[in-house]
Amino acid sequence: MQTIIHFRGRTYRANLNDPLDISLPLRASVSNPVAWSLGPPEIDPVRSEGWTGSVAEGGAVNFNTIRFNPHAHGTHTECVGHITRQFYSVNEALRTFFFIAELITVAPEQLEEDRVVTLAKVEEQLSGNKPEALLIRTLPNDNDKQTRNYSHTNPPYLEEAAAAFLRAQGVKHLLVDLPSVDREEDGGKLLAHKAFWNTAGEVRYDATITEMIFVPDTVVDGTYLLNLQVAPFVNDASPSRPVLFRVW
């Protein structure tokens, strides 16, 4: 189904029957991606005396309790409440769900023992574009990003200057295929988070960061329509399902 979209003074065409889901599903399995030293998610049927929430075990319905952490167990979207003393909910921060987005691919640079997505690389790949939403795919783009245990591996992260640059360019929604835009162990500095949300100045309460996406190599760099679907949790972060549509 070809759809004509009028968005912020420009006209695009998109095929809404050809979605590109770049989220990681949550599974009760050791193959579920995980970070921050947690175990895998748990999905178990409720059991009480004489009753089970499992049809396979004789129950009338499947009735599962799910235990997980949105920051650690897959694709999630977070707001500034992730790093503030005062509570802010991503459910309130994100009030519109469609954006014109740019996808870029960046090879992190080796800086001592770290691999860093630098300002220079981001600026080079953006080539002057100022999208409302930006997706960063990092290299190498191995399929095991879909099942990786990131704990104690010092994954790549975003340079503070790159995050500040994206804020200055007007990027409202940043999506990365990393467990965090900041270093795994940084003593609580959270420099990229703070720079992107501008916590030292006029805080961007309506800006979001989405982490642990996965963009296959078959999806080429360029411009897309992004549908950022977020579960309505009253929390600083929520599991999310970003979906891309090709535009022309």
Helix (H/G/I), strand (E/B), else coil: 182: coil
Quote the percentage of the chain above a pLDDT of 90. 96
Scanning the structure block, which residue is given the tokens 């009480």? 48
Mean pLDDT of all residues belonging to the chain: 97
CATH topology of domain 2-24+70-246: Glucose Oxidase; domain 1 (3.50.30)
Mean pLDDT, residues 158-176 taken together: 98
Q: How far apart are the first and last CA of the chain?
A: 14
Ordered by start, the domain boundaries in the chain are 2-24+70-246
Mean pLDDT, residues 96-115 taken together: 97
Predicted model pTM: 0.97
Contact (Cβ atoms closer than 8 angstroms) between residue 177 and residue 134: no
* pLDDT value, residue 111: 96
Strands 133-138 and 173-176: parallel
Q: Indicate the pLDDT class of residue 6, thresholds 50, 70 and 90.
A: confident
For residue 77, pLDDT over 80 is answered with yes
Going by C-beta distance under 8 Å and a sequence separation of 6 or more, which residues neighbour residue 246?
14, 15, 18, 20, 224, 225
Q: Indicate the pLDDT class of residue 236, thresholds 50, 70 and 90.
A: very high
Q: Is the peptide bond before 108 cis (omega within 30 degrees of 0)?
A: no
Structure tokens at 179: 């467990």
